[in-house]
């Protein structure tokens, strides 16, 4: 092999290898729910494969064969197999995870990377003479490989994934890999017939790849997302793929990068996503003129915040512009894009705040993602809280979602002199934090969404109960702490003060998902637990303070999977985001039932999945009513 050819081989191999790594990371990010370990495990498998490939390549490095043309054939074969295996990693992952854990697919990554990794040592052997300049020539080859890798990162990350789906990008990479195969194959043969055979094989493989990509990538994202819960009838209503990630919508729920992002709901009648927490800003601040929101997602919160009393300007910083494509498709939130009060900035939230040192806000709001996701520390550490603190106007409040991380609650409580917990949110400030019950009532009764009131307590029994429940919220501050209520800073520090403060350095929240001890915050103070004996499932339910908004805290076994709220979270694999979805599903289900009971009386016959167990739940107990 000529040295110039070996440079091309090294460069193209680097391009293809790093491009595939980016494609794989995209798929693994979705399937793993962006856990902080994903990158390391994927890279570890990738590098282990590369290491094994480089070792295996020694078998082809015969001293006497360096100048023989035909010795390039094994290199071409490696490239061909590597290309094929790499192309199949994502479809294979999507199928494997419907029955096994995603980590078990990592050997496929190692195998593909191993085949790709053999190419550089082989190109080195066949392209470099073993003399005193070997080290220098190797450096050129290494540089060619790195330049190819860098280009692969740029082209695939910025161009392919911006304009193509995972399927399209994979086919494009397969084309690049086949070009490398053709280059080596043609160089390895000296006859016209031989070269024609190589080119023919390349073209045939490309045609076959394109044809097979359809079935191979069919319902790819649904498989990656639903994993063991995948069934052929599951299809996303909306799917947006761009270079920043994947946004999917199913059953009114929005998922970003495979993780629950929110529910397309802005109302209080049916509030499975606890969107009342957005309205509650009005109870903590009389007139937040300038509001900053980090994270837009589905836009429900932005829509609500912009309509709160006193809000003159709402600046929203969102990292993924894909949401701006989604929002116009959702009637509930589409108007926010035309709201003159709202300014949307596409940037990293922390960086954007740092780059605006002179700005001050009356309220900073973050309903951001789960604390156990990779890089969540950037928005949940003491350093970030100090940054936010410096940007609050006098009397300003910072309210954000802890996603029930006790360490994050503690961190906020020690960073700010005044703090209060509201459900899974913290409300913190340099000024006293108080939930104003009168303003809360005014907001709930006078707020208009598209001209309509949030609740109609005078004409609708369910709405009246909802209003009563919501008005009860501030009263929980004086009671033993429950998750579905308010809690003082002193109580939080007494319970969680022993935990480490989350810092940029320790990234505690990412590595230590919330491990709530149910006993710590038992709602028994309000309602004794009750056990329902359904026909097919055992469900233990316990009423929360909101009465009909019953929280399911027990076991619910279906399809062999534990479902439920805090206790189930404890038992599930740490950070298993499937729970998030199940929790929300149950919230919807229970609320639907409770509403039906309110409307039709106690004999209303159902809650439950698939016509199975039916329970009815009230704040005072639970009774099975029907199937």
Which residues within the stretch 158-187 sit at the binding site for another protein (CB under 8 A)? 158
Site for another protein in 493-512 (CB under 8 A): 503-507, 511-512
Beta bridge partners of 448: 453
Residue 204 CA to residue 232 CA, distance in Å, equals 31
Residue 451 lies near another protein (rule: CB under 8 A): no
- Going across the sheet that includes 539-542, the strands are 530-532, 539-542, 551-552
Q: How far is the CB of 109 from another protein (least distance, A)?
A: 11
Residue 365 CB, nearest approach to another protein (Å): 20
**Binder among 4, 99, 150, 626 for another protein (CB under 8 A):** 150
Nearest distance, CB of residue 56 and another protein, angstroms: 8
Instruction: Figure out which of the listed residues 19, 112, 149, 618 binds another protein, where binding follows CB under 8 A.
Output: 149
Q: Quick one: tokens of 54?
A: 């480089």
Q: Exposed, middle or buried: residue 270 (CB in 10 Å: 0-12, 13-18, 19+)?
A: middle
Q: Taking CB under 8 A as the rule, does residue 348 contact another protein?
A: yes
CB closer to another protein out of 165 and 445:
165
CB of 157 to another protein, least distance (A): 6
- Output 311 or 317, the one with its CB closest to another protein: 317
Quick check: 313 and 291 in contact, CB under 8 A? yes
Q: Does 573 bind another protein (CB under 8 A)?
A: no
Backbone torsions φ then ψ of 605, nearest 5 degrees: -95, 35
Nearer to another protein, 312 or 505 (CB): 505
Per CB under 8 A, contacts with another protein among 111-130 are 117, 120-122, 124-126, 128-130
Determine, following the binding rule CB under 8 A, whether residue 25 of this chain makes contact with another protein: no
Which of residues 130 and 340 has its CB atom nearest to another protein in the complex? 130
Distance between CA atoms of 445 and 537, rounded to whole angstroms? 39
Q: How many angstroms separate the CA atoms of 144 and 123, rounded?
A: 11
Q: Does the footprint of another protein cover residue 347 (CB under 8 A)?
A: yes
Q: In angstroms, what is the minimal distance from the CB of 617 to another protein?
A: 39
What three-state secondary structure class fits 411? helix
Residue 23 binds to another protein (criterion: CB under 8 A): no
By CB under 8 A, is residue 133 in contact with another protein?
yes
Site for another protein in 521-560 (CB under 8 A): none
CB of 55 to another protein, least distance (A): 4
Tell me the number of residues near another protein by CB under 8 A.
72
Assigned token pair, 382: 């003491």
Asked if residue 139 binds another protein (CB under 8 A), the reply is: yes
CB of 572 to another protein, least distance (A): 19
Q: How many of the other CB atoms lie within 10 Å of CB of 53?
A: 24
Window contacting another protein (CB under 8 A); options: 142-150, 329-337, 464-472, 480-488: 142-150
Using CB under 8 A as the binding rule, the residues of this chain from 368 to 407 that contact another protein are: 375, 377-378, 383
Residue 127 CB, nearest approach to another protein (Å): 9
Distances in whole angstroms, Cα of residue 385 to Cα of each of 36, 39, 494, 556: 21, 26, 21, 38
Q: How far apart are CA 459 and CA 548, in angstroms?
A: 18
C-beta closer to another protein: residue 57 or 174? 57
Q: What is the closest distance, in whole angstroms, from the C-beta atom of residue 282 to another protein in the complex?
A: 31
String marking each residue 238-277 x if it binds another protein according to CB under 8 A? -----xx---------------------------------
* Binds another protein by CB under 8 A, chosen from 77, 96, 103, 140: 140
Dihedrals φ, ψ of 363, to 5°? -150, 140
Q: Which of 20, 28, 60, 385 binds another protein (CB under 8 A)?
A: 60
Q: What is the DSSP string of 459-479?
A: T-HHHHHHHHHHHHGGGGGGS
Q: Which region, judged by CB under 8 A, interacts with another protein, from 131-139, 256-264, 461-469, 528-536?
A: 131-139
Instruction: Please tell me the distance from the alpha carbon of residue 452 to that of residue 472, in angstroms, as a whole number.
Output: 23
With respect to another protein, which residue has the nearer C-beta, 511 or 535? 511
* Residue 210 CB neighbours (<10 A): 13
216-235 positions binding another protein, by CB under 8 A: none
Positions in 70-109 near another protein (CB under 8 A): none
To another protein, the closest distance from the beta carbon of 257 in angstroms equals 12
Long-range contacts, stretch 549-556, CB < 8 angstroms, 24+ apart = 549/271, 549/469, 549/484, 549/587, 549/590, 549/591, 549/594, 550/590, 550/594, 550/617, 550/618, 550/619, 550/622, 551/483, 551/484, 551/523, 552/586, 552/590, 553/518, 553/523, 553/529, 554/529, 556/586
Residue 172 CB, nearest approach to another protein (Å) = 18
Q: Kindly tell me which of 149 and 443 has the beta carbon lying closer to another protein.
A: 149
Nearest to 386 by CA among 359, 421, 350: 350
SS3 per-residue string spanning 296-313: CCCCHHHHHHHCCCCCCE
As measured in angstroms, the least distance from the Cβ of 296 to another protein is 14
Count Cβ atoms within 10 A of the Cβ of residue 24 and give its class: 0-12 exposed, 13-18 middle, 19 or more buried.
buried
Distances (CA, A) of 625 to 472, 543, 601, 605, 612: 28, 17, 11, 6, 12
Which helix or strand (DSSP H or E) is residue 349 part of? helix 349-354
Task: List binders of another protein among 356-375 (CB under 8 A).
Answer: 357, 375
Q: Residue 194 Cβ, how far from another protein at the closest point, in Å?
A: 24
Contact 77, 144 (CB under 8 A): no
Interaction residues for another protein, span 30-59 (CB under 8 A): 36-37, 39-41, 43-48, 50-52, 54-55, 57-58
Residue 134 engages another protein in binding (rule: CB under 8 A): yes
Which of 351, 524 has the CB closer to another protein? 351
Give 510: exposed, middle or buried? Use CB within 10 Å, 0-12, 13-18, 19+. buried
Minimal distance, residue 179 CB to another protein, in Å: 22
- In this structure, what are the phi and psi dihedrals at residue 242, rounded to the nearest 5 degrees? -145, -175
- Nearer to another protein by C-beta: 149 or 273? 149
Laid out side by side, the sheet with 361-366 consists of 342-346, 313-318, 290-294, 361-366, 392-401, 425-429, 418-422, 486-488
> According to CB under 8 A, which residues from 315 to 344 bind another protein?
319
Task: Identify the bridge partners of residue 464 per DSSP, sorted by sequence position.
Answer: none
């Amino acid at each position: 092999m000529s040295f110039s050819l070996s440079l091309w081989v090294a460069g193209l191999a680097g391009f293809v290898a790093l491009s595939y790594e980016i494609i794989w990371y995209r798929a693994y990010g979705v399937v793993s729910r962006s856990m902080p370990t994903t990158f390391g495990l994927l890279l570890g498998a990738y590098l282990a494969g590369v290491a094994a490939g480089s070792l295996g390549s020694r078998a082809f490095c015969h001293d006497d064969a360096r100048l023989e043309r035909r010795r390039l054939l094994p290199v071409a074969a490696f490239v061909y197999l590597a290309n094929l295996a790499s192309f199949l990693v994502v479809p294979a992952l999507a199928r494997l995870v419907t029955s096994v854990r995603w980590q078990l697919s990592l050997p496929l990554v190692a195998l593909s990377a191993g085949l790709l990794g053999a190419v550089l040592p082989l190109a080195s052997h066949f392209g470099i003479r073993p003399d005193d300049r070997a080290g220098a020539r190797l450096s050129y080859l290494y540089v060619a490989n790195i330049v190819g890798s860098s280009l692969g990162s740029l082209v695939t990350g910025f161009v392919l994934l911006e304009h193509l789906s995972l399927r399209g990008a994979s086919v494009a990479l397969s084309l690049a890999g086949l070009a490398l195969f053709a280059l080596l194959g043609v160089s390895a043969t000296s006859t016209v017939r031989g070269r024609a055979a190589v080119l023919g094989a390349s073209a045939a493989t490309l045609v076959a790849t394109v044809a097979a990509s359809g079935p191979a990538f069919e319902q790819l994202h649904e498989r990656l997302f639903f994993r063991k819960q995948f069934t052929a009838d599951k299809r996303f209503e909306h799917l947006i793929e761009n270079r920043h990630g994947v946004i999917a919508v199913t059953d009114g729920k929005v998922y970003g990068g495979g993780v629950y992002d929110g529910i397309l709901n802005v109302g209080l009648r049916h509030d499975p996503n606890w969107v009342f927490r957005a309205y509650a800003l009005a109870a903590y601040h009389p007139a937040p003129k300038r509001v900053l929101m980090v994270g837009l997602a589905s836009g429900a919160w932005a829509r609500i915040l912009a309509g709160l009393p006193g809000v003159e300007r709402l600046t929203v910083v969102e990292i993924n512009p894909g949401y701006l494509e989604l929002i116009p498709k959702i009637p509930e939130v589409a108007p926010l894009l035309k709201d003159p009060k709202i300014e949307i900035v596409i940037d990293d939230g922390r960086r954007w705040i740092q780059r605006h040192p002179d700005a001050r806000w009356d309220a900073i709001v973050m309903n951001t993602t789960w604390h156990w996701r990779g890089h969540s520390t950037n928005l949940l550490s003491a350093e970030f809280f100090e940054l936010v603190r410096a940007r609050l106007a006098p009397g300003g409040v910072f309210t954000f979602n802890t996603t029930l991380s006790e360490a994050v609650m503690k961190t906020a409580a020690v960073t700010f002199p005044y703090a209060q917990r509201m459900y899974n949110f913290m409300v913190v400030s340099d000024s006293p934090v108080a939930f104003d019950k009168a303003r809360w009532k005014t907001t709930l009764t006078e707020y208009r969404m598209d001209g309509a009131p949030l609740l109609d307590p005078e004409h609708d029994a369910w709405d009246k109960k909802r209003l009563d429940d919501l008005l009860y919220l501030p009263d929980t501050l004086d009671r033993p702490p429950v998750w579905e209520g308010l809690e003082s800073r002193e109580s939080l520090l007494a319970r969680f003060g022993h935990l480490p403060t989350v810092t940029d350095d320790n990234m505690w929240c990412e590595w230590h998902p919330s491990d709530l001890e149910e006993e710590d915050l038992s709602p028994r103070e309000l309602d004794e637990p009750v056990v329902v004996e359904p026909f097919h499932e055992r469900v233990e339910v316990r009423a929360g303070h909101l009465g009909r908004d019953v929280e399911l805290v027990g076991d619910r076994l279906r399809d062999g999977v534990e479902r439920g709220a805090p206790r189930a979270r404890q038992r599930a694999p740490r950070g298993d985001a499937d729970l998030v979805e199940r929790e929300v599903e149950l919230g919807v289900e229970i609320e639907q039932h409770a509403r039906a009971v309110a409307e039709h009386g106690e004999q209303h016959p159902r809650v439950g999945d698939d016509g199975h167990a039916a329970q009815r739940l009230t704040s005072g107990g639970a009774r099975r009513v029907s199937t």
